[in-house]
Structure formats: C-alpha cells, structure tokens
C-alpha cells in the first residue's frame, strides 16, 4: 500500500471511531491485502492520541473466538491512553455495539523488548514483566457485522480495541501461580456468571504475552517498558447494558468491579 492509501484507510476507520458511527466494510481500494499492511494502517491510530501508547490488547485468543470471526489466529491491537477508564469510574457505552465486558489478565512491562530476528522465549518475556494486574476490556468494532469483516480489516480496525479498565495490581506471589490453570469468573449484576480459566487465552496468559512480543517484533515494533498488555478474555464475554455492574473474580488473586452507563 502507498503511504497515502495507508493514511486514507486509517482516516476512514478513525473517523467512524470518533463519530460513533459504523460501516459495512472498508472501501475496496483501501483494504489491506496482508497482515503487515493491516498493522501499518492500525499504527496510524496512535496519531489520535496526545500521550504515549498505553499498551496492547490481544484479540481472538481462543479457537472458538477465531472460528466465530473467521480469522486464522490472534491479533494485536493498540490501547490508547485516552481510552483507559480509571478504576472506579463508570464506563460510558455510548455507540458501542458489541456490548460485552471481557475479564482478563494484564501484564505491565518493566523492560523493553525490542524487535529482533530470533523469537522471544517465554522465560525471557516473563523476566521483562514488572507486575500482573487484573483488567476488564470493553471492546468494539467500527464494522456493522465485525464477524464478517475478515482478518485484515479487523487488524486495521485496531483489533476491536476501544475502552479498557486497568484493575489493581496483584499482591500475591503470582509468579508461583499456574496462571493457565487459575480459575476466573465474570459475574453480571443481572445474574449470569461466566466461568473460565487462564488456559482459555492461547493456552495461558504467559503464552499470550510471549505471542504478543513476537508478533510486534515481526512488524518492527518494540514492546515498551511501562506498557500494559491485556491478554484476552479468560471466560465467555459478559453481556453489558447501561446500569450493569460486572465483577471480575480472580479468586486468590483478587477481584474488581466495573459499572456501565449510557
């Protein structure tokens, strides 16, 4: 893609995002043909922010999720600082069409992992982590039916990133915990309880974090010190409506609550 086409594709998607509108698809002439081109389009979303990039999300971390939206594997998306909702504040759903909350494990990086030729191993990625947090993602898509958009269009659309609530830092010695086996629950104030565990994200949160470090490395992007990485929903996403409260219950690792408004 030419630089002007990359910018035009980004402008199309970010205008929808800013204005709370949705479209059936990107214009044919602006659709990226490869994952690499899609990430180039996605990268331009950082121009919407006046602050350093807050971090990253991973979408489609389960086989069921990948099949549901017809993609070949997980996808990385950018978390803009302006879209991080402070814990304790109400998440305003606005024009959000997905209307779900996703209960996730979140890592905060203490060391930068720069792009390199050799893949990162899980042990060295873990050594670069400063802290583990709880988190609830509130994703959205700029497409009317995102399940039919396809891999390249979803990546270009920031992998369905929208709002995110960073929960408390885990005080327990989480490095001694098998996060893949750890049970997590998403509880709605309307009654439904969704149960899951860390293994639902690519086999485990640390596996997902290592995937993200290598995915960024493959497109020449560093995973920076201070950035957060939310690794994907551990249980089936919890449907939300204005007035709901969702609790992310991580058992011995803690809990967090998020309230939703119109």
pTM of the model: 0.97
Q: Which two tokens stand for residue 182?
A: 């750890």
DSSP 150: -
Of residues 147 and 65, more confidently modeled: 147
pLDDT more than 70, % of the chain: 100
What pLDDT does 64 receive? 83
- 45 — phi, psi (to 5°)? -65, -25
Checking if the pLDDT of 63 tops 90, the result is no
101 strand-pairing partners: 238
Residue 201's pLDDT band (boundaries 50, 70, 90)? very high
Q: HEC profile for 229-247?
A: EEEEECCCCEECCCCCEEE
pLDDT, tens digit, 9 for 90 and up, residues 153-183: 999 999 999 999 999 999 999 999 999 999 9
Per DSSP, the residues of 35-102 read: HHHHHHHHHGGGGG-SS---EEEEE--SHHHHHHHT-SS-EEEEE-GGGEEPTTSPEE-TT-SS-EEE
pLDDT at residue 65, as a whole number: 85
pLDDT the model gives residue 24: 97
């Amino acid at each position: 893609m030419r630089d002007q086409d990359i910018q035009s594709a980004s402008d199309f998607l970010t205008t929808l995002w800013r204005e709370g509108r949705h479209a059936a698809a990107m214009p044919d002439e602006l659709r990226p043909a490869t994952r690499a081109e899609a990430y180039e389009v996605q990268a331009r979303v950082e121009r919407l922010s006046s602050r350093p990039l807050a971090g990253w999300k991973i979408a489609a971390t389960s086989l069921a999720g990948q099949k549901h939206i017809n993609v070949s594997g997980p996808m990385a998306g950018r978390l803009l600082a302006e879209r991080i909702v402070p814990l304790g504040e109400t998440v305003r759903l606005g024009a959000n069409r997905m209307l779900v909350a996703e209960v996730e494990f979140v890592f905060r990086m203490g060391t930068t992992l720069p792009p390199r030729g050799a893949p990162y191993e899980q042990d060295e990625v873990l050594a670069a982590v400063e802290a583990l947090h709880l988190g609830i993602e509130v994703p959205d898509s700029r497409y009317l039916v995102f399940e039919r958009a396809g891999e390249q269009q979803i990546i270009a659309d920031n992998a369905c990133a929208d709002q995110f609530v960073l929960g408390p830092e885990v005080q327990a010695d989480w490095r001694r915990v098998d996060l893949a086996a750890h049970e997590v629950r998403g509880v709605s104030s309307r009654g439904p309880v969704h149960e899951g565990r860390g293994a639902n994200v690519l086999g485990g949160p640390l596996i997902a974090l290592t995937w993200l470090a290598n995915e960024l490395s493959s497109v020449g992007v560093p995973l920076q010190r201070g950035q957060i990485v939310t690794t994907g929903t551990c249980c089936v996403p919890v449907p939300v409506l204005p007035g709901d409260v969702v609790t992310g219950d991580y058992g011995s690792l803690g809990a967090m609550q998020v309230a939703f408004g119109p």
